[in-house]
Amino acid sequence: MKVLRKFLLIVAMSVSVITLNSCFDKGESEVFRKGEQSPIHLAVMLDLDGGQSTLGQEAMNGFVLGLQDAQSGESPYVYASLIDTKTDPTVTVNSAKAVLPNIIVAAGFTNNDSVLEVGSLFQDKKVPFLSIGATDPSLPKVIGNFIFLTPFGDNAQAAAAADFAFEEFGKNVVLIWDSTSEYTKMLPKYFRSSFEKIGGKVLLEESFDGGCDISSIGSKIKVLKEKPSFIYLAGLPNCIGKTIDSLRSSGIELPIVGGDGFDTPNLMKGGEEATTNVWYTTHAWLSNETGTEKAKEFRAAYERAYGGPPKDAFSALGYDAANLLLEVFKRTPALDPKNIESTLEEVKDFQGVTGTISYTADNHVPKKTVWIIKVKDGEESLATSMIPKDVPMPITPSEHE
């Protein structure tokens, strides 16, 4: 594996700083780009352990790869603190409090709950926070104007899934979701709104309280008077393959459609049979054969840096977030949090691996392409991509129930 270097870590008290799957030599203490100007100190907060770790590791790998661009050209002088928040709310909050006095901007998280837990801390200190993979479209409205999203919102990916599944499978759906996460609670609400608007019908709604076994829901599906066309499942990445396998083991062979929580190697780690008849929405298609030119270039750069291909689209989100911040730093004449926030609001048509990013003062969630991936016999292929035209309005936490 090629070792990424040229990096300086600044360690805030009580913050866990990581070395990224041995991609850095321990003890490396170099800067991204040497210069005379004052350094920009940013924090990158991601879950490298626990239930979100498969997404967090890839997002961190992509972010660090993006920061390598700071070694040349007109890129600014950057320090970064890499923080493992361990999919643990206490660690997440303590880490944010510890690092906030030392930074002027932060990025991170692949789950909505973490941004909801600490977003107000960044907002209160007026430090811009760029979500790498959290997709709740209500976050800027709920938390405030210092919160920005790199990805599309859950309302957009749910609308794309609804449009696709209605045409591909039919009008009758069973909705299943994990009740332990804001992401998995909200995704089916957006899906239902879009699906019913185009003439779809929900035959059954069932939630489960975490875990990987939802075979008991299979028995309820089998006795429905009206036959479902497919299942929409909102699950978490830690054991999504086993969750799907538990449905299959109960005798359910229907197509299963899900969101970007499916975009993890865990999707293929179910039972003895290969994962099949599954579709999911995500942020990029990183194929050497059928990906975009930017996707192919990113994949090649990732392989050179890490010795293998990216495992999911969250790596590309991390890469885009890093390059977006570098571009913002270049455009900001006086680098302080308020000016960075103002420059972010002026971003127009930033071309990333995961699509085009634009913000306005009134909208901090980009309108981007949604990619739909097909899984058959353990192999992934591109089904389609789209920017959905009719997207439900964001639902704030107070409106969730």
**Could you count the other beta carbons within 10 Å of the beta carbon of residue 331?**
13
Per-residue confidence at 126, pLDDT binned at 50, 70, 90? very high
Residues 265, 382: one domain?
Answer: yes
Q: Which residue has the tokens 């594996």?
A: 1
For residue 381 the two structure tokens come to: 């292929």
* 277 and 393 together in one domain: yes
Reduced DSSP (H G I as helix, E B as strand, rest coil) percent helix, strand, coil of the chain, to 5: 40, 20, 45
- Reported as a single tens digit per residue, the pLDDT across 91-117 is 999 999 999 999 999 999 999 999 999
Q: Tell whether 229 is covered by a domain.
A: yes
23 occurs within a structural domain: no
Instruction: Please tell me the distance from the alpha carbon of residue 319 to that of residue 107, in angstroms, as a whole number.
Output: 12
pTM of the model: 0.92
- Cα–Cα separations (whole angstroms), residue 137 to 6, 51, 222, 245: 35, 22, 35, 30
pLDDT tens-digit map of 18-29: 333 333 332 232
Residue 350 one-letter amino acid: F
Tokens of 130: 């760029």
Check whether residue 68 and residue 194 sit in a common domain: no
Nearest to 177 by CA among 198, 149, 154: 154
Give the CATH number of the domain where residue 254 resides.
3.40.50.2300
Count the domains in the chain.
Answer: 2
Q: Render pLDDT for 32-80 as a digit per residue (tens, 0 to 9).
A: 444 456 788 999 999 999 999 999 999 999 999 999 866 655 667 888 9
Say what percent of the chain tops pLDDT 70: 88
Residues 6+ apart with CB under 8 A from 379: none
What number is the average pLDDT over the span 127-134?
A: 98
Examine the pLDDT at 5 and tell me if it is beyond 90. Answer: no
Q: Are both 227 and 330 inside the same structural domain?
A: no
Helices (H), 14-153: 53-67, 89-99, 112-124, 139-143
Residue 59 in tokens: 């997002």
- Would you list the DSSP string of 239-292? GHHHHHHHHHHTT--S-EEE-GGG-SGGGG-SSSSPP-SEEEEES----TTTS-
Are 58 and 71 contained in the same domain? yes
CA-CA distances (angstroms) from residue 277 to 95, 163, 350?
A: 41, 18, 35
Residue 363 lies in a domain: no
Could you list the residue range(s) of the whole structural domain that residue 257 is in? 155-282+370-399
Domain check: are 303 and 381 in the same one?
Answer: no
What is the arithmetic mean of pLDDT over 325-329?
95
